[in-house]
Structure 1
Amino acid sequence: MRQTDTMSVGAALRGWFRRTGSEILGWVVVVVGVILMPLPGPGMVIVVSGLAILSRHYVWAQRVLGPLERKATEAAKFGVETWPRIAVSFLGGVWLAVLGVIWWIGPDIPEFEVLGVGFGPELPAQGWATALGLWASAVAAWALLAYSVVRWREPRPADVP
Structure 2
Amino acid sequence: MSVGRSVKQVIAAVAGGLLVIVGVVLLVLPGPGLLLVLAGLVVLASQFPALERFVDPVRRRAMKAAEESVASPLRIAGSVLAGLALIAAGIVWGTVRSLPFSSWSTGTSLILSGLIIFALLIWSYRRVQARQEQL
Normalising by structure 2, we get a TM-score of: 0.71
Q: 1:54·1:61 contact (CA, 8 Å) conserved in 2? A: yes
How many aligned positions are there? 127
Are 2:73 and 1:83 aligned? yes
Structure 1's consecutive aligned runs of 4 or more residues displaced over 4 angstroms after TM superposition are 16-21, 31-37, 39-48
Q: Identify unmatched segments of 5+ residues in structure 2.
A: none
Contact 2:12 2:47 in 1 (8 A): no
- How many percent of aligned residue pairs carry the same amino acid? 30
CA separation of 1:131/1:145 partners in 2, compared to 1, >3 Å: closer, same or farther?
same
- Structure having the higher helix fraction is 2
Residue 45 of structure 1: how far off its partner (Å): 6.5
Matching residue's letter, 1:28: V
Give the partner amino acid of 2:122: A
Matched, 1:134 2:124: no
Counterparts of 2:35 and 2:3 in 1: how far apart (Å)?
Answer: 23
CA RMSD of superposed structures (Å):
3.6
* Matching residue of 2:52: 62
Task: Write the deviation string for residues 105-134 of structure 1: whole angstroms up to 9, x where unpaired.
Answer: 2254xxxxxxxxxxxxxx221111110110
Mapped contact 2:34–2:62 kept (Cα < 8 A): no
TM-score by length of 1: 0.61
Question: Which of 116, 119, 122 pairs up with 1:146?
Answer: 122
Displacement of 1:20: 4.6
The within-5 A match list for 1:31-70 is 31-33=17-19, 48-70=38-60
Please tell me the residue identity of whatever aligns with 1:54.
L
Following superposition, the deviation at residue 66 of structure 1 comes to 2.5
Question: What is the one-letter code of the residue matched to 1:139?
Answer: L
Larger Rg computed on CA atoms: 1
